[in-house]
Amino acid sequence: MNFKKILPFLFASALLFNVACNDDDFVEATKSEAYENGILIANEGGYSTPTSEVSFVSNDLSIFENKIYGNNNNKEILGNVLQTIG
């Protein structure tokens, strides 16, 4: 066989075995979530200023909290425009 034909196969095999040999342990988050029973609202913000933020409304509408991203991340700015929350 021609070496040029075997080389891509060897490269793909080496890449596959390198990626498949990952021994990292999966750690599942066990932290109790404060914003579990409610709705997250994406406040889009302006296109030229970093004013996007996330708000929370509880299912029974008794709790409403603004700026939950900044309050839980050391006042970190989320960004200019927030499109969606997954």
Q: Does residue 14 sit in helix, strand or coil?
A: helix
As a whole number of angstroms, the distance between CA 37 and CA 23 comes to 35
Share of the chain above pLDDT 90, in %: 12
Pairing of strands 38-43, 53-58: antiparallel
Read off the pLDDT of residues 37-76 as tens digits, 9 standing for 90 and up.
Answer: 899 998 887 777 878 899 999 999 998 999 888 888 888 8
The residue with greater pLDDT, 16 or 62, is: 62
Question: In this predicted structure, what is the pLDDT of residue 28?
Answer: 60
Read off the pLDDT of residues 25-42 as tens digits, 9 standing for 90 and up.
Answer: 666 655 557 788 899 998
Question: In this predicted structure, what is the pLDDT of residue 60?
Answer: 92
